Structure 1
Amino acid sequence: MVRRHELTDAEWEVLSQALSGRPRLDDRVVLNGIVWKLRTGTAWRDVPARYGPWQTLYTRFRRWALDGTFTRMLAAVQVEADTAGDIDWLVSVDSTVARAHQHAAGARKKGQGAGDEVHDHALGRSRGGLTTKIHLVCDGRGRPLGFVLTGGNAADCTHFEQVMDAIKVIRLGPGRPRTRPDHILGDKGYSSRKIRAYLRKRGIGHTIPERRDQRANRRRKGRTGGRPCGFDKQLYKKRNVVERCFNRLKQWRGIATRYDKTRESYEAAVTIASLFLWLNPL
């Protein structure tokens, strides 16, 4: 009997193919424990004993996070969807903030002359405390194609190109991974000359509303201000899929509140949650 938050046989069959190294008999049990921990947001020490020693769960989670196992799992389900023609390339981009628990602070800083946590582990300090921002792009069915983690005080527009670079859907057989969507939807936070020029250069259509101050500035300049940006109000309504995507991701309590100290661990947690959005689409 499959318990709540555990892998079904179909899900395990897909994910087991991406496990690296010699397969272990308890891999499915361990992965179930990892998913249970992230779903509930509990501490590693409090994961039920039926999943094995918590030290084993944490060690396996870190190993798979660092060697790219979870990333390969996500890439595998995206490849399968793309091969079946199931990906809607009308994509939406946005960001959401996750409050960091007090236990998320204190990880060892990386590099020489590192500043605060925002440069090392995607933690930003503001009036509300430490937060992490998930910059994400999803397909037309609300499934993550790529994401980037930053501190919660980072502006959306400054990381737009990084998010776009995170789109890499590998294709079966010869050929490069697909990195370019057909059209992109974004809110006013992405309304900038740099972003629009970037999208035009790559031949990507976009629907991004112009900010009020930008419209006023353009009108003030008269003929030299340029033409108004095209905007399709009906098409823009489809941007709600990215909001629904965040809503589903934050049903995982380990995502809605960040408990992980390191960037790699929290990135792996978001990857696992994204993976299940592909396995169980809307």
Structure 2
Amino acid sequence: MARPKPWEVDDELWEVIAPLLPKIQRRVLHPGRKRHPDRLVFQGILFVLHTGIVWEHLPQELGFGSGMTCWRRLAEWTGAGVWPRLHEVLLARLRSANALDFSRTVVDGPRSCAKRGPKTGRSPVDRGRAGSKHHLITDATGIPLAATLTGGNRNDVTQLVPLLQAVPSVRGKRGRPRRRPDAVLGDRGYDHDKYRRLVWDLGVKPMIARRGTAHGSGLGAQRWVVERAFAHLHWFRRLRIRWEIRDDIHEAFLILGCTLICWRRLKSLR
């Protein structure tokens, strides 16, 4: 049996996605051209995410529709808030399967190249070239819980609290949804007493390495999971370099990448 392509959507995944998509009713008068099937368009979006190809070069013979059709549908679904809801659904399924570990979370924020657009900035560590940063928070096993996008000139520590606040309320078990972890781990880039106090105010214990101290804090033995998550996330070629002028479209790709990592983790549990 031939191995399925990474952008192909199986029936099980589509059953999760389809109810979240907005329903568009055709007009009775002057209905216009029939809308291209959502499933094929979604596969076209995944094709762009995986390969990094420009929208205009999307292969027509694969049946995805035109690149502009896929881009417009991506913008439409992004405006409808589809991707955060899809991420929440998959996180709830992971928690229901006892695959989420909220005993600690891990944060990091490496740089991603960018050409232009909102949420870019001149990176002080890359000869002043324009760039954006992907900030990520994972659970103790490396499952992405939330991601944010900022300019390359933003300090990582400024996103510590926004990342914690961006973690959704995760259902999947009886009782109240889980949102706050017990602790958050960060490298020396997050060392600031002001932000430690803000994290404590959220009811989370900050475990952050101190600047100016010798290496060997032991946090690296637990922090490596976020580095692995970034490796998985940047395996999607469209996320390695930010080509989108619109920041919401790039953020859509970023959250969609997180959801695909969650889906793969779910499938690996079976």
Question: When the two structures are superposed, what TM-score results if normalisation uses the length of structure 2?
Answer: 0.84
The equivalent of 2:196 in structure 1 is 196
Distance 2:82 2:100 in 1: 22
Distance 1:148 1:178 in 2: 20
Which moved further from structure 2: 248-257 or 78-87? 78-87
Distance 1:76 1:96 in 2: 27
2:6–2:50 CA contact under 8 A, matched in 1: no
Distance 2:150 2:92 in 1: 27
The equivalent of 1:69 in structure 2 is 82
The equivalent of 2:231 in structure 1 is 247
AA at the equivalent of 2:211: R
The equivalent of 1:158 in structure 2 is 158
User: For the structure 1 residues 232 and 208, does the alpha-carbon distance in structure 2 shift closer, same or farther, using more than 3 Å as the test?
Assistant: farther
The equivalent of 1:85 in structure 2 is 98
> By how many angstroms is 1:10 displaced?
2.2
Which moved further from structure 2: 242-251 or 25-34? 25-34
User: For the structure 1 residues 14 and 236, does the alpha-carbon distance in structure 2 shift closer, same or farther, using more than 3 Å as the test?
Assistant: same
Question: When the two structures are superposed, what TM-score results if normalisation uses the length of structure 1?
Answer: 0.81
Residue 44 of structure 2 is aligned with which of 33, 43, 67? 33
Distance 1:143 1:69 in 2: 19
Distance 2:160 2:205 in 1: 15
> By how many angstroms is 1:246 displaced?
0.6
> By how many angstroms is 1:177 displaced?
4.4
Q: Deviations over 1:104-128 (max 9, x none)?
A: x2x5xxxxxxxxxxxxx21112434
The equivalent of 2:254 in structure 1 is 270
AA at the equivalent of 2:101: D
1:56 aligns with 2:69: yes
The equivalent of 1:117 in structure 2 is none
Distance 1:19 1:195 in 2: 38
| Partner-residue secondary structure (3-state), 2:148 | strand
Q: Deviations over 1:157-206 (max 9, x none)?
A: 12211111101133259976432102211101111111221233333223
User: For the structure 1 residues 232 and 84, does the alpha-carbon distance in structure 2 shift closer, same or farther, using more than 3 Å as the test?
Assistant: farther
Which blocks of at least 5 consecutive residues in structure 1 are unaligned? 108-120, 217-230
Distance 1:174 1:244 in 2: 31
| Partner-residue secondary structure (3-state), 2:195 | helix
> By how many angstroms is 1:232 displaced?
9.0
| Partner-residue secondary structure (3-state), 1:206 | strand
Correspondence list, 1:53-202, <5 A = 53-89=66-102, 90-100=104-114, 102=115, 105=116, 107=117, 121-126=118-123, 127-171=127-171, 177-202=177-202
AA at the equivalent of 2:121: G
Distance 1:60 1:135 in 2: 26
Distance 1:28 1:240 in 2: 35
Q: Percent identity, aligned pairs only?
A: 32
User: For the structure 1 residues 70 and 181, does the alpha-carbon distance in structure 2 shift closer, same or farther, using more than 3 Å as the test?
Assistant: same
Which blocks of at least 5 consecutive residues in structure 2 are unaligned? 26-34
Distance 2:90 2:121 in 1: 32
Which moved further from structure 2: 189-198 or 199-208? 199-208
| Partner-residue secondary structure (3-state), 1:142 | coil
User: For the structure 1 residues 68 and 6, does the alpha-carbon distance in structure 2 shift closer, same or farther, using more than 3 Å as the test?
Assistant: same
| Partner-residue secondary structure (3-state), 1:180 | coil
Distance 1:38 1:148 in 2: 17
The equivalent of 1:221 in structure 2 is none
The RMSD of aligned alpha carbons is 2.5
